[in-house]
Amino acid sequence: MLFHSLAALCLTLTTTIAATLPAIQYETPVSRRWLLGDDKIRGVNLGSLFIIEEWFAKDEWASMGCKGYYDEWSCVKALGQEAANAAWDTHWKSWVTQSDITKIASYGLNTIRIPIGFWIKEDLVLSDEYYPRGGLKYLDRLVGWARDAGLYIIMDLHGAPGSQSPNEEFTGHGTANPGFFTDANYERANKFLEWMTERIHTNDAYSTVGMLEVINEPIKRRVNATDADDMLERFYPAAWDRIRGRENKLGIAKEDKLHIQYMGSNWGSGHPEKYLNDTTGLYFDDHVYWKFDTRSGTNKTSYINATCNLYRPEADVIVGEFSLSVASALQNNDEFGIQGHPENIAFYTDYFTSQVSIYEKSGGWVFWNWKCNWINQFNDWRWCYKTAVEAGAIPKDASKAASLSPC
């Protein structure tokens, strides 16, 4: 089983989260973690909910008045705080609904990964920074829905103070010179992690949040070795200590403590465990996008072979992002195209099932993304789990997908 004490948990869930917001806060720790056991993580990301990336949410972005702006920062600055808050409020209400969560569970998925920005804790935002306000009540609502649906949750700090990677929409502020790697921004991130840890343990809606990811896709050593090494030596162990320290202060039992996740060494920013004093409950995140990997080759056979030959023995690695996308030069040709090429759907089923069969040799997988709109001048379901299932490319029962692998 992926989770423990399900029966005990269910007995406590005598009511669902009220439709009114915000969710109720509890004064004493809830202290219920669903821990990884013998089963595998099978999940989807809820990207573009709390950090919008225009490239896979073009229609949504335009409807908010943000067309022509690169990221949340630039749109909020252009609209002004009050108008931006109103636009984002409409977005938060509709981008992921309770029916989405119900459908996710019905597809045999057991996990959601929620990418969030540090700015959801609004007192961490500086006066000269531009981020939307008002998202926390919707996060409370979302995790409550997921709890009621029996879904495990990975909470992911996707956008860090100052931005942790250059020119990326997912940081919330695309900048050529990432400013995360300073004492002040490390401290803001650690305050966020402490706050989120306490919220998870003291708010009943968060009772199936079992993993907290310290930071998503930080700068790589080949981009800036100095920043990557500084983060490894100073931020990573401090983040661990602040999370565990807050849990100790709350009196959380060992078996109920969060799993703490870092980007694994395959990401390229170093070995995150190098300076940690403790590794109990440590997990790693790996992102595999064959679209950007030359080992995938240029034909269907080479893509499947590359996937099947990916060796992943580590039980503590979860592939937190992957997709069905292929190299840009190939995506619309006769062999890989999906517009007007129904004969190619069978390949994408093989491509999906071969990937998940390999990732399930480790801790499991989380697809990027659950939903999207208007990619590559059409709705390209190679990035969108929901519409890929509807297209017949992804099996409706995720728990059986690995058994269909051609590997």
- Token representation of residue 11: 């007995």
- Point out the catalytic residue in the list 198, 217, 247, 360: 217
Quote the strand ranges of 86-148, DSSP E. Answer: 111-117
Any catalytic annotation for residue 217? yes
CB-based contacts of 136, cutoff 8 Å, min separation 6: 22, 120, 121, 122
The position carrying tokens 């100790």 is 248
- Point out the catalytic residue in the list 53, 54, 169, 321: 321
Distances (CA, A) of 87 to 91, 221, 379: 6, 37, 23
Cα gap 114→154, rounded to integer Å: 6
- Which residues on neighbouring strands pair with residue 378, listed in sequence order? 375
Cα gap 389→61, rounded to integer Å: 24
Distances (CA, A) of 112 to 24, 42, 103, 146: 22, 8, 12, 8
Any catalytic annotation for residue 54? no
Q: Do the strands 209-213 and 259-263 form a parallel or antiparallel pair, or are they unpaired?
A: parallel
Cα gap 313→156, rounded to integer Å: 24
- Token representation of residue 278: 């403790």
Alpha carbon of residue 35 to chain centroid:
18
3-state secondary structure of 278: coil
Cα gap 223→208, rounded to integer Å: 36
108 close to 397: Cβ distance less than 8 angstroms: yes
Instruction: Mark 188-206 as b/e (b = at least 16 C-beta within 10 Å).
Output: bbbbbbbbbbbbbbbbbbb
The phi and psi torsions of 54 (rounded to 5 degrees) equal -60, -30
Quote the strand ranges of 145-281, DSSP E. Answer: 152-159, 209-213, 259-263
Cα gap 159→155, rounded to integer Å: 12
166 close to 178: Cβ distance less than 8 angstroms: yes
Active-site residue list: 217, 321
